[in-house]
Amino acid sequence: MRILFVLLFSLLVSLSFSQIKPNNGAATSKPAYYALKNATIYISPGRIVNNATLLIKDDKIIDVGKGVKTPKDAVFIDCEGKIILPAFIELNSNIGMPELKKKAYTGRPQYESSKKGSFYWNEAIHPEVDANLIYTSDAKKNEALIKMGFGYALTRQQDGVAQGNAAFVALTDGAKSLLPNPELSSYFSFKKGNSRQSYPSSQMGSIALLRQLFYDAAWYKESAKDKNLSLESLNNQLNGSLIFSTTDKLEILRANKIAHEFDLSFNYIGSGNEYEVIDQLMDLNSTLILPINFPKPYDVENPYVSRQIPLSDLKHWEMAPMNPMLLKQRGIDICLSSMQQKTAKDFWSNLRSAILHGLSVEDALNALTVQPSIITGVSEAVGTLDAGKFASFIIYDKSPFEESAKVLESWILGEQKVYAEKVNNDIAGKYNLIIQEKKFPVEIKGNSAKYSGKLTYQYQGEESLQDSTVKMKVIANENNVTLQFNIADTSWTGSVTLQGKSNPKFGVFEGEGMLPTGEWVKWTAVKTKKGDTKKKKKSTVVKDTLNYSWFPNMAYGFDSIPQPETIVIENATLWTNEEEGIVKNATIILKNGKIDFIGTGNYRTPNGARVIDAKGKHVTSGIIDEHSHIAISKGVNESGQAISAEVRIGDVINSDDINIYRQLSGGVTASQLLHGSANPVGGQSALIKLKWGHTTEEMLIPNADNFIKFALGENVKQSNWGSANKIRFPQTRMGVEQLYLDGFTRANVYAKEMADFKKDGGSKPRIDLELEALSEILQSNRFITCHSYVQSEINMLMHVADSLGFKVNTFTHILEGYKLADKMVEHGVGGSTFSDWWAYKFEVNDAIPYNAALMSKQGVVVAINSDDAEMGRRLNQEAAKGVKYGGMSEIEAWKMVTLNPAKLLHLDDRMGSLKKGKDADVVIWSDNPLSILAKVEYTIVDGEILYSQENDLLLRKRNQAEKARIISKMLADETPKDEKRAFIKKKQGHYHCNTIGEEMSTGANHH
Amino acid sequence: MRNTLIILLIAVSGFSFGQNYENILLVNGNLHVGNGEVVQSALIGIKNGKIDLIKNSLAYTYDKEDWDTIIDLKGQQIYPGFMAPNTTLGITEIDAVRATKDFDEVGIFNPHVRTQIAFNVESKVISTVRTNGVLLAQPTPRGGIISGSSAIMKLDGWNWEDATIAASDGIHLNWPSSLSGGGWWAEPKPKTLNKDYSKQKDKIYAFFRMAKAYANTTKNDKKDARMEAMRHCFKGKKRVYIHANELQQLLDAIDFSREFDLAFPVIIGGYDSHLIAQQLIDAKIPVMLVRPHSLPENEEDDVDLPYKLPALLSAAGVKFCIQNQGDMEAMNTRNIPFLAGTAMAYGLSEEDAISAVSLWSCEITGVSESYGSIEKGKSATLFVSTGNALDMRTNKVTLGMIDGQFIDLENSQYKLYKKYEKKYAQQKKD
């Protein structure tokens, strides 16, 4: 009903304008009907009619097809040989939006919103921005889109996390361009855009901000007393169509988690690598708006250069054009967008590439017309050329789906625009030009864009007549021809100019012209030979459309998703970490992802088991890295606020980090991914297993306890951030204590309000994600891992915790822990430290490598962690330093990277030792694992062999072969050299505790 | 037995540091000479700071009267003092405190600035490095195109003068990257081929042409500090250390060395050097290899490539040693023995791994005449470990000496350890 109403409304609008607008002079009238005849019309996807007629009245299609009855007063347009496609709809556009100006960067952080008024507190949230109110038609940009085939765009200000309403516009220049929105569409993203406000500084911050926003919107609807324009707008938008703009496949899954939490439904603007997570996307029930700016081939002729191109880039180059096809094949609804394409030529050649890579023309057209019209709710009025719909279509000289075609005309809402000049007659060829009975051989070369000619005449040489060939200017326009040449023959000297008409059917020109003598003469030219029409060889391109994706789709990815195996490891030296200690000549059996048998007694080899002879080898439980920052996307720190308890590392896990595989090669099977140390209360941790080849969700350890990162000292007081950063509270250790006390006091009040509401009802308190997380700590439902260095601050936090009735779970770094190990034992807190780091900042001046041994001796549960992707691969070596510094026993030293971190992470009931029933996270070492000679031979996680020396060698060879295969494909690619990409190498940075911002650090770090 | 002090070396503090001993005999140690040889049950005689005698005790009887100090090592391992080449040790103290950084001077061509005179012998960091067996270092400037001149220093001494082995052993040339871009870490941009690469190379060529011409004159009234500092790179033994990792850089550095007929060019870094081993051999250019404890550069590189680079170069016959530039390099200098250990685990023989942090480092830096191995006539710069010094489990230094002088094995960190150990022992008593 709504759509019908809108249709009527739009009709009224279009009619009423002509009445409202005052006329300058006599009123003009338009023909009542236009009839476009003899065209090939793509009425809708899959419905192509040849020799068809399209009948239009005003801005509507009256009829279409063969045998259309045309009224007598219709204006006829002959479209013979031409192609008519319905106008496409662009869903990712900012056409007609005012240019955004970013505020000047002052260097000083901005912690509060600078936007005054009843708006949301964060400048990245501005749902109140309404594109309908700020849209102005831009003829130049319209034409650029029209040349790509588009006639409509859903445009909005592309800025911020909550971006505002979009306007559905037709690409015309007049007052009619703004169509009323049948469906209110609004856009979201994880990018804060032009906002200079410090928060959010990371993707997890953007996610937390959005979640808080949706909670606030719900609360506003029910209980708010003050007016807030942002929340009001958002609440309206939530009834409409929500489009989420992403820059990576994983962002779609992240946004979908939010949608799920708030019972919303997003459609997504994708980034082109969605094929890599196709299985997860199938459950979404969303439409994906896909870019087709497929990567250009690299210039790979130089082998020095090509060897440095990451394999993942090469693989993506190969697979990207298949993205639309693969998604469509699996039943996912797609739209195609012109995003990031500069020219119509690029857009169409990429679209044809998608078609060559398996996307049917029907599906391509559907993705550009019908599907976008459905998700914007305008399918009754636009999208096809059926009768009753808007007359918006583009006329091409050829089928652009097959070859490069020209846009001849656009009709947007019935408004005709002609682009290309009429096609000129092809006049290339050889002629005899006859003027006053003189015959001159003439040759005309070129095509309708530009011709050039040569003319030969005879002149009197010294002995005989000789030939002279001169240039001849040839200008052809429709069927008019102008020829000009200079001559010096036996009778004429000077310029000859001829004007005439061509008659291509007979290959004849005729007309009048002027001789050098000033004489006005008739002339004719008769074709003797046709021009060489360079017909491009139509190579029948058969594109390779096999899916070459790996899991993950990069070097060392698996061909298929790894599965748990039944594994018998015999004759091994087992480091059990249990009472048995080190057991020689023992067997361990892994089954269904668990340890099924362990010991020296009898056992039965299960059917189909893989048997590994571990004679001379050492077998341990997997290393657990208590402090890691690998496998995190777009920011390890949310540094925009002193307390960011609401952000969650679990929201931004990156399953494609090569460091996952590298850690496996060092025997690591599980890690705590921690927020950084940029603020006193950081974010919530993620406990993962290093399940290379699996999805982010599969990596998260199920039913793990909740953890959160706190931090103390130089980093949180921004000591090493430069002099501009002296604004945020706290700037001293004194302030840090008060910040905690204040935060926890507020959390206490919040928890009480929530409890009271649950008990007694009344008005619902506003859900506050930050206080929620803090109150979980107070209720011992979330556990603190606290970055710490010096004894004063360590002591302080234990006092704060004691005064509020909770325990600090773990001090990490804890380089002065040895000074107050007794107090730590009393409080019941563990320590996760470095083996020997120091001298990197002032607060580690008293750090000593004997720290682990001293703490351990006093009864502190001590772990050795990495905080570093490089060191994470050889934590066995770091544990061994416990033997060197302070004389720990080998068994105790080994526990510091296995059982002890498991205890600190509350996972020791299922990890950290070799015991029947525990997780099958097992490492086979070539030697005593504490020895410098120890190498990992197998790393098994949940019974899956995710690393083995043997397979690693195979993967290396396969990586090379794959690279060679794709490079030879690239070399065969016909893209001109100057359009190929120069080599691009990703310099991989790494997150450390103090890395600020979304991007990784490649510089020195101070942990 | 007159005047002879016999020490049975068991604990860390078996004898007193700082005392002068002139004739010292080490007996019963397993000697790793540093040149690949091993002498079991070795006798090492030290006179006036120099190695005077090396014998197998089974084949040689000594006269106790000849020695004022005889130390029974009881089967412990003896190593030449290890070297930390290409390091900021001694010219920085705390990475995050600018006031302690003395390695990066203003300017692009700074061959005249020298680390020797900024070297802090009393650095607390150095005290923790010595005690793991690293006894020599090459404090090295950073920044610019030519960062300055490094020096070879002993890690003990009263001042930089008496710690000096070589005052200005070489200049450090940072070869331009053949790749550019990358932005900065908050706004990274993709790296692409460096368009200015050849211009930047030209700049270096121009500077060296000038310097070479200057070196040909013997007298120059207007002394140019930069040119003077370059002089011995052409007429003398001053090294030209070229910091380069990428294939293109390495090939160009070889051309450059040939063009200027450099007598002692050295590559520092050399991540891709294993790919052009023969060319490096032909050009006689040794490599100070990238820190083995670093991550592979490229996604598809072998996950253990940095670990095995020493073995790859060794197998190919390229002269190399191990260095440690990178994150927290000053404090990490104490882990140099374990870098060699990792190289050993990944294919280098044990004795080659030792050479890679001792003799070969000294050869490449030009001080092997007196340092780098335990051979007759060389300086008595060595240490003793209860077990294999390349393995952190067994690296336990019980004796160390530089030029025959015993070093203090109780560094500041050890003192703090003992202090708090005492605290807890006291608590137990109470």
**What ranges do the domains of chain A cover?**
1-17+30-87+383-424, 88-102+123-382, 429-529
Which fold does the domain A88-102+123-382 belong to in CATH?
A: TIM Barrel (3.20.20)
Taking the Cβ of residue A845 and every Cβ of chain B, the question of whether any pair is shorter than 8 Å is answered with yes
**What ranges do the domains of chain B cover?**
5-80+393-416, 82-371
Which contiguous run of DSSP H or E holds residue A177? none
3-state DSSP call for residue B308? helix
A997 → closest Cβ in B186, B190, B335: B186
Residue owning tokens 């439902």:
A781
Which residue of B180, B305, B393, B398 is the best one to mutate when testing the A interface, meaning the one whose CB has the most A CBs within 10 A?
B393
For the ranges A108-117, A277-286, A448-457, A845-854, which has the lowest average pLDDT?
A: A448-457
B338·A932 Cβ contact <8 A: yes
> What is the reported pLDDT for A148?
97
A555·B299 Cβ contact <8 A: yes
B191 → closest Cβ in A556, A857, A984: A984
Among chain B residues, CA nearest to A665: B303
Are A111 and A69 within 8 A, CB to CB?
A: no
- Report strand pairing: A185-189 vs A162-165: antiparallel
> What is the reported pLDDT for A989?
57
Q: Which CATH superfamily is domain B82-371 in?
A: Metal-dependent hydrolases (3.20.20.140)
Residues within 8 A of B (CB atoms), A 697-716 only: 714
B335·A933 Cβ contact <8 A: no
3-state DSSP call for residue A472? strand
pLDDT, average across residues A971-988: 66
pLDDT band at A1; cut points 50, 70, 90 = very low
CATH architecture designation of domain A429-529: Beta Barrel (2.40)
- Report strand pairing: A623-628 vs A936-941: unpaired
> What is the reported pLDDT for A1005?
60
Residue owning tokens 């008409």:
A501
Which residue of A959, A985, A993 is the best one to mutate when testing the B interface, meaning the one whose CB has the most B CBs within 10 A?
A985
pLDDT, average across residues A267-294: 96
Taking the Cβ of residue A881 and every Cβ of chain B, the question of whether any pair is shorter than 8 Å is answered with yes
Are A756 and A783 within 8 A, CB to CB?
A: no
Question: Residue A427: how many CA atoms within 13 Å on its side-chain side?
Answer: 32
Taking the Cβ of residue A308 and every Cβ of chain B, the question of whether any pair is shorter than 8 Å is answered with yes
Give yes or no on whether B5-80+393-416 and B82-371 have one common fold: no
β-pair partners for B359: none
Rounded Cα gap, residues A371 and A442, in angstroms = 55
Rounded Cα gap, residues A906 and A914, in angstroms = 16
CA-based end-to-end distance of chain A: 61
Task: Provide, rounded to the nearest whole percent, the portion of chain A with pLDDT above 70.
Answer: 92
Residues within 8 A of A (CB atoms), B 211-250 only: 246-248
B392·A555 Cβ contact <8 A: no
Rounded Cα gap, residues B29 and B31, in angstroms = 6
In B, which residues are within 8 Å of A659 by CB distance? 295
Asked if CATH classification 2.40.110.20 holds for the domain at A1-17+30-87+383-424, the reply, yes or no, is no
In A, which residues are within 8 Å of B334 by CB distance? 836
User: How distant is the Cα of A270 from the closest Cα of chain B, in angstroms?
Assistant: 21
User: How distant is the Cα of B179 from the closest Cα of chain A, in angstroms?
Assistant: 8
A311·B299 Cβ contact <8 A: yes
Residue A307 DSSP label: T
Q: How many residues are present in chain A?
A: 1007
Task: Provide, rounded to the nearest whole percent, the portion of chain B with pLDDT above 70.
Answer: 93
pLDDT band at A488; cut points 50, 70, 90 = confident
> What is the reported pLDDT for A30?
74
The full DSSP string for A250-274 is: HHHHHHHHHHHHTT--EEEE--S-G
B295·A870 Cβ contact <8 A: yes
pLDDT, average across residues A216-244: 94
A983 → closest Cβ in B192, B328, B395: B192
pLDDT band at B3; cut points 50, 70, 90 = very low
Taking the Cβ of residue A176 and every Cβ of chain B, the question of whether any pair is shorter than 8 Å is answered with no
Residues within 8 A of B (CB atoms), A 519-578 only: 554-556
Residue A649 DSSP label: G
In B, which residues are within 8 Å of A983 by CB distance? 192-193
In A, which residues are within 8 Å of B95 by CB distance? 839-841, 1004, 1006
Q: What is the mean pLDDT of chain B?
A: 92
> What is the reported pLDDT for A180?
64
B248 → closest Cβ in A304, A714, A881: A304
In B, which residues are within 8 Å of A554 by CB distance? 299
The beta strands (E) that lie in A58-175 are given as 60-65, 74-78, 83-86, 88-93, 150-155, 162-165, 167-170
For the ranges B13-17, B140-144, B320-324, which has the lowest average pLDDT?
A: B13-17
Longest dimension (CA), chain A: 123
What pTM did the predictor assign?
0.91
Residue A690: other Cβ atoms inside 10 A: 29
Is the confidence at residue A438, as pLDDT, over 60?
A: yes
Among chain A residues, CA nearest to B418: A850
Taking each continuous run of H as one helix and of E as one strand, the counts in chain A are 24, 43
B344·A984 Cβ contact <8 A: no
Q: What is the CA angle B417-B421-B426, rounded to 5?
A: 150
Taking the Cβ of residue A871 and every Cβ of chain B, the question of whether any pair is shorter than 8 Å is answered with yes
Upstream peptide bond of A200 is cis (omega within 30 degrees of 0):
yes
CATH number corresponding to B5-80+393-416? 2.30.40.10
> What is the reported pLDDT for A3?
44
Which pair of structure tokens corresponds to residue A812?
A: 């990490």
What is the C-alpha R_g of chain B? 23
Per-residue pLDDT tens for A377-424?
Answer: 999 999 999 999 999 999 999 999 999 999 999 999 999 999 866 556
pLDDT band at A7; cut points 50, 70, 90 = very low
Taking the Cβ of residue B392 and every Cβ of chain A, the question of whether any pair is shorter than 8 Å is answered with yes
B393 → closest Cβ in A662, A883, A935: A883
β-pair partners for A228: none
Rounded Cα gap, residues B105 and A555, in angstroms = 41
B179 → closest Cβ in A659, A952, A985: A985
Which pair of structure tokens corresponds to residue B243?
A: 């910091």
CA A379 vs CA A48, A395, A823, B244: distances in Å: 19, 21, 70, 61
Rounded Cα gap, residues A350 and A272, in angstroms = 12
B327 → closest Cβ in A836, A858, A1004: A1004
Rounded Cα gap, residues B48 and A97, in angstroms = 85
Residue owning tokens 């949310």:
A638
In A, which residues are within 8 Å of B186 by CB distance? 996-999
B342·A934 Cβ contact <8 A: no
CA-based end-to-end distance of chain B: 46
Q: Say which residues have a Cβ less than 8 Å from residue A637's Cβ, sequence separation at least 6.
A: A201, A202, A675, A676, A677, A678, A679, A682, A994, A995, A996, A997
Sign of CA dihedral A723, A727, A733, A736: negative
Per-residue pLDDT tens for A338-363?
Answer: 999 999 999 999 999 999 999 999 99
The interface predicted TM-score of the complex, written ipTM, equals: 0.95
Query: Residue B240's closest CA among B163, B148, B356?
Result: B148
Residue owning tokens 């939006």:
A97
Per-residue pLDDT tens for A881-922?
Answer: 999 999 999 999 999 999 999 999 999 999 999 999 999 999
Taking the Cβ of residue B185 and every Cβ of chain A, the question of whether any pair is shorter than 8 Å is answered with yes
CA B127 vs CA B228, B324, B407, B409, B415: distances in Å: 34, 18, 9, 8, 11
Query: Residue A227's closest CA among A303, A148, A120?
Result: A120
pLDDT band at A923; cut points 50, 70, 90 = very high
In A, which residues are within 8 Å of B302 by CB distance? 956
Are B351 and B344 within 8 A, CB to CB?
A: no
pLDDT, average across residues A662-677: 97
For helices A229-237 and A203-223, angle between their N-to-C axes, nearest 10 degrees: 90
> What is the reported pLDDT for B17?
56
**Interface contacts A/B by beta carbons within 8 Å:** 177
pLDDT band at A993; cut points 50, 70, 90 = low
> What is the reported pLDDT for A990?
62
Taking the Cβ of residue B347 and every Cβ of chain A, the question of whether any pair is shorter than 8 Å is answered with no
Is the confidence at residue A10, as pLDDT, over 50?
A: no
Are A124 and A197 within 8 A, CB to CB?
A: yes
Is the confidence at residue B6, as pLDDT, over 90?
A: no
What is the C-alpha R_g of chain A? 37
β-pair partners for A618: A573, A925
Per-residue pLDDT tens for B259-300?
Answer: 999 999 999 999 999 999 999 999 999 999 999 999 998 889
CA A32 vs CA A84, A417, A698, A758: distances in Å: 21, 17, 64, 68
User: How distant is the Cα of A120 from the closest Cα of chain B, in angstroms?
Assistant: 27
Per-residue pLDDT tens for B162-208?
Answer: 999 999 999 999 999 988 765 443 333 466 788 899 999 999 999 99
Among chain B residues, CA nearest to A990: B185
Is the confidence at residue A527, as pLDDT, over 90?
A: no
